[in-house]
Amino acid sequence: MPEHVRAELPGLANRFDTFVFDLDGVVYRGKRALPHAVEVLNLLLDSGRQVFYLTNNSGHTREEYAARLQALGVPAHPEQFITSAWATALYLQRALPAGARLFVVGEAGLKEELQAAGFTLVESVEPQIPDAVVVGIDRNFTYARLAQAQYAILNGARFVATNADATYPAEDRLMPGAGALVAAVAAATERRPVVIGKPNPQILQPFIDRGVIQPERTLLVGDRLDTDIALANTLHIPCALVLTGVSTREDVECAPLEQLPQWVLNHLGELLGDAVDSLLVHPVP
């Protein structure tokens, strides 16, 4: 990013040129924006910072996520969004032949991303076994879908999961995430899936390889130690945990080293606070 467009900001935000934010539990919960999120995102964008959004939620397309932020009052474009659904489509393009047949346990957003990537989606695994079974969040999951996924995988279909998050934060409580459905399919098949989303570093590595994201000049902000923070530490990206989603301050106190954030924030507004040192968990390497 050209230095001449970079305006000064207060607090922790001024140390970085690029920001990668999780969505659920960081920017919003359900349909409600979290405190200070809209203001902080707009200030970062107005100051010339580069902002990306990285979500394991496979329920929507990148275009839908962009529209959702626009509705909250934040300028957004699909190219800023890195979703587990989109990343899964990219992975399968490398792993399978063009037009491969997929059985999908998932919602419209995942299916649209896979179709846009050129795959054929099937509603039955018989008589022809699909090339892969793809499992994401599916709030209409049924025993019949589980049985079909099991049959396909046991008869040679690849087992691919968009993510393994057991829960996600809704407006007033935690809800079962895609990982709960992935666990059901794994139990029924006694097979382990290839998991595409966080903390798999491949979800961000292409952006690092192209120089779009420079780890030392980037801050990753998430609400889960086992996905967001673990991913950041694997890629040597400075990271902050925000306490508006899943993980708690008590979780930080007993977390393994690879899941420790550099900073813990009560809300996104503290990115622009002056008391940076009081937020520090352990020094940035």
Q: Which residues are catalytic?
A: 22, 24
Find out whether 117 and 90 touch, Cβ atoms under 8 Å: yes
| Structure-token pair, residue 186 | 């794994």
Q: Which residues contact 190 (CB under 8 A, 6 or more apart)?
A: none
- Distances, alpha carbon 211 to alpha carbons 6, 52, 66, 77, in Å: 18, 14, 23, 19
Residue 273: helix, strand or coil by DSSP?
A: coil
Specify whether the CB–CB gap between 216 and 18 falls below 8 A: no
What letter would DSSP give residue 163? -
Contact 89, 119 (CB under 8 A): yes
Q: What does DSSP assign to residue 212?
A: S
Q: What is the DSSP string of 11-74?
A: GGGGG-SEEEE-SBTTTEETTEEPTTHHHHHHHHHHTT-EEEEEE---SS-HHHHHHHHHHHT-
C-alpha count within 13 angstroms, C-beta hemisphere, residue 136: 30
